[in-house]
Structure 1
């Protein structure tokens, strides 16, 4: 697809967004639901073409000759986001691991392979990993020269923290960019001034114009573009330039893209935003074109939110129990957006989840015990659950809640069999 067609679709989306905003009010429902993997309703033919081109990039299996590596965990986005369809989560065999070490100042930073026998230049060029993500695959040397191409794995005995991750589902998350900052900030209470035991707070992203983080398990990025560029680099070794910095001389084109993505992410990577956009393989950088990146972001920003199941009397009773347990203090049933009301059951805030779920990984301002409230829409379509996939069932996931959620967890554990059944029917309907 030619770049001007992609940009035309982007411009059309801005017009669509403007129309939707003009027709919506705070109390109206946003029309964003659809089948898993489908686009949000209302896209025109050009936008649908861009959406499907983005899907093809999402499903593309990269090869070494196209820039894969030198270190990587997967060959495509869909490798880890395949369940139940592209854009979803994955089973645990696709999990990956993060590893970091603490600086004398207490900052968590990535670890490197054992390259101490090389000079500094070789260490940086041949052995540097892009982030805290531990690669499953990497470059290997030859019999005659076993170290020129680097080493395959970091030495984990250098790590102070090792944490597991399960890929998060992406259905409907693009709409989070349309939640106004005041809507998120209205629920922030970092000092728990109201004394309810809930102290949610934002993760403000300094290297993304100090915007509020909305994406990732720790709200570590403020845009889907930044999240994508980080995952491409960290998981596949695919480099890309920020859309803003890849723009041509046309100021109009730049304006429209700035409005669409609402962020400047010059070097934004998921865990290490200032990493260089080079990876020292034999393929010239950037390895993903501007058009491919725009389409990939467009695809994920316009994935429909999961369609709600049938609302029965049992589901309504379960919703009441959910509120009585105070689960709605964090899993907020609805958020106002620029195009109407949505129902993701999240507040987009960080919460202390206690020692049982703590993994020690810090990202931006998020501490090792803190995680974003996970959206619950489409919940039962993508087990396993939790950030590390350790929970095979909804009940197991709830029982692992601690910290700010401990009181709700204990109340859940005390429910009788009938109320537990009603609650689970409600969750299954989301």
Structure 2
């Protein structure tokens, strides 16, 4: 009978097998002694390290117990200092603790095990060597990641602290936002027209008497007030414009406690219904006579800067950056799904899963918004126009308030192409469609010039495990940029979108959960935020609770979060390695 069979018999209890395997791997001996079978009576210490590892491999134990085997072993082992030798040792440990054949990322049951080499149907799957390193890059990277974690265990590195250097200065100094390179003349015309409308201030009624559409309930009076960092189309600016918006035109709004001059722009949602409850109303404005409606009540108050500690039934969202949005829209569903399947074993090892959110109408993958709730820039634009500024439009014709005195007079047709008498293609478009063209043709954020520190941080980004969710790049497919459905846009099609996101939903745990479900996104699930442009952002996370990038990383870890092991890996790095990784992020 093979020496490991006693540990696989049903008469051996799970606890006995774990005792044996745990004692064996903790000893870290490489002895091949077979003096005592693992399930023999007597002290667990009678098992050798090799027997314990192999016994645990042969048992059909849950993946969590095998991960415990792995963690227990690395915590009590002294691995070689040579990178290659250490990778070899760690790789063998992965093979022993998990029933795997690491080919194209799939886990398979193995039929025999001899000295760390596994064979399935006579096909060698787990032999370490130059061919293995060449063909299984993902496993190689995992070994390097685990090596970094090992080097810090038991040391003081867990207490090391890096410093967030802060917002990287925009090269344009908040000047005109750049369009994608390679736009046609028509595309550039659409982009410029969209920028002008995106930046315009909306009124309840224009001086000519027509309804411009603002309100009666709204969060702001122009798109660019929320999307201004580092320039029009970006994220929440450092100086909050909403206190001024509250009283614009003579309005009598009270500024909510979570809107402060040096804090983020926030959209408020009540957990009970998950919907947006606009901050301001048009009551008191000179262009809205006779309209008298009340603001929502958001009290009791909490910390205005962090948004924490106030009414527990109110949660917040800050604006997402729109830079490079057209490239994100142009990524095919198949590319997102293929990327989700890549490195499946490594993701499983880290506890990372992730899934798509999908349209309830046609089943396509949705990708915009904090919970990936919108499938296209057109829907994203129409919803924002209606929800954030109270302007009805072709896709969202419903008024935000049905109070008759607040509906205005004159032409009340929703803001669509029927309201424009025009002579050019750009003019005949509605504001909503013009916003789409602007967002679609807006360039992705430009990274800073690389330094030795940031390039080392780039390598660590993958080694630590950040890239398992924050995929560095995805490729776009054929995409339309100028409204002609028969003509693909060269500026958008077949481009590398270096967004640092897999566009999937991931569980972020109790610490970040907002209690709101949107489509397939659960209460603690959020889309992987694209990291391009993160070096120029002021506020982080969905509610803007921190402006410190290191704190944002720390908030990724909480009970139930898929990021826990990755965050742990980061904080196990030495202080200079932590700093290099932060410098890399701030270079994006």
Give how far 1:160 is off: 7.7
Structure 2 Cα separation of the partners of residues 425 and 140 of structure 1: 47
Question: Does 2:501 correspond to 1:341?
Answer: no
Bigger Rg, structure 1 or 2: 2
Alpha-carbon distance, 1:278 to partner: 7.3
Whether the 8 Å CA contact 2:264–2:318 is kept in 1: the answer is no
CA distance in 1, matches of 2:579, 2:447: 18
Conserved 8 A contact 2:235-2:537 = yes
Give the corresponding residue for 1:4.
none
**Which residue does the alignment assign to 1:282?**
408
In 1, Cα distance between equivalents of 2:276 and 2:522 = 18
The residue that corresponds to 2:515 in the other structure is 360
Residue of structure 1 aligned with 2:365, choices 197, 212, 217: 212
1:427–1:232 CA distance, 2 compared to 1 (3 A):
same
The equivalent residue for 1:152 is 294
Where does residue 268 of structure 2 map in the other structure? 97
| 1:249-264 equivalences in 2 (<5 Å) | none
Check if 1:56 corresponds to 2:196: yes
Look up the match of 2:436.
297
Distance apart, 1:187 and its partner CA: 3.6
Cα deviation for residue 316 of structure 1 reads 2.0
Pairing 1:384–2:539 present: yes
Whole-Å Cα distance in 2 between the matches of residues 181 and 161 of structure 1? 35
- Is the 1:277–1:285 contact (alpha carbons within 8 Å) kept by the matching residues of 2? no
> Within 1, Cα distance between the matches of 2:400 and 2:586?
44
Give yes or no for the alignment of 1:203 onto 2:331: no
Question: Is the aligned partner of 1:133 residue 2:304?
Answer: no
Aligned to 1:182: 334
1:77 match: 223
How far apart are the structure 2 equivalents of 1:297 and 1:369? 29
| 8 Å CA contact retained: 2:386, 2:400 | no
- 1:214-233 equivalences in 2 (<5 Å): 214-233=367-386
Structure 1 residues 160 and 93: alpha-carbon distance in aligned structure 2, compared to 1, 3 A threshold: closer
What is the correspondence of 1:302-317 to structure 2 with a 5 Å cutoff? 302-317=441-456
Residue aligned with 1:94, SS: coil
Question: 1:369 aligned to 2:540?
Answer: no
The verdict on how the C-alpha distance between 1:93 and 1:152 changes in structure 2, with shifts beyond 3 A counting, is farther
Query: 1:401-416 residue pairs with structure 2 within 5 A?
Result: 401-402=556-557, 403-416=561-574
SS in 2 for 1:186: helix
Deviation at 1:211, TM superposition (A): 1.6
SS for the counterpart of 1:79 is helix
Displacement after TM superposition at 1:84 (Å): 1.5
Secondary structure, counterpart of 1:348 in structure 2:
coil
SS in 1 for 2:430: helix
Unaligned runs of 5+ in 2: 1-170, 206-211, 239-262, 300-310, 418-428, 478-493
The equivalent residue for 2:142 is none
1:199-254, Cα deviation, whole Å (9 max, x unpaired): 110001104x2221110110000001101111111111011104xxxxxxxxxxxx
- 1:76-129 Cα deviation digits (max 9, x unpaired): 00111112211011143422211142xxxxxxx35xxxxxxxxxxxxxxxxxxx
After the TM superposition, which of the residue ranges 352-361 and 179-188 deviates more from structure 2? 179-188
SS in 1 for 2:526: strand
CA contact (8 A) 2:390 2:399 kept: no
Cα deviation 1:251-296 (Å, max 9, x = unaligned): xxxxxxxxxxxxxxxx5xxxxxxx7367541150313544322221
TM-score, normalization by structure 2: 0.53
Please state whether the residue corresponding to 2:439 is helix, strand or coil: helix
Residues of 2 paired with 1:200 and 1:229: CA distance?
28
- TM-score normalized by structure 1? 0.72
SS at structure 2 position matched to 1:371: strand
* Contact residue 264 and residue 539 of structure 2 kept, 8 A: no
| Structure 1 runs not aligned, ≥5 long | 1-33, 102-108, 111-131, 143-147, 243-266, 268-274
Instruction: Assess if the C-alpha contact under 8 Å between 2:216 and 2:400 holds in 1.
Output: no
Distance 2:374 2:544 in 1: 21
- Superposed displacement of residue 198, structure 1: 0.6
141 and 312 in structure 1: CA distance in 2 versus 1, 3 angstrom threshold: closer
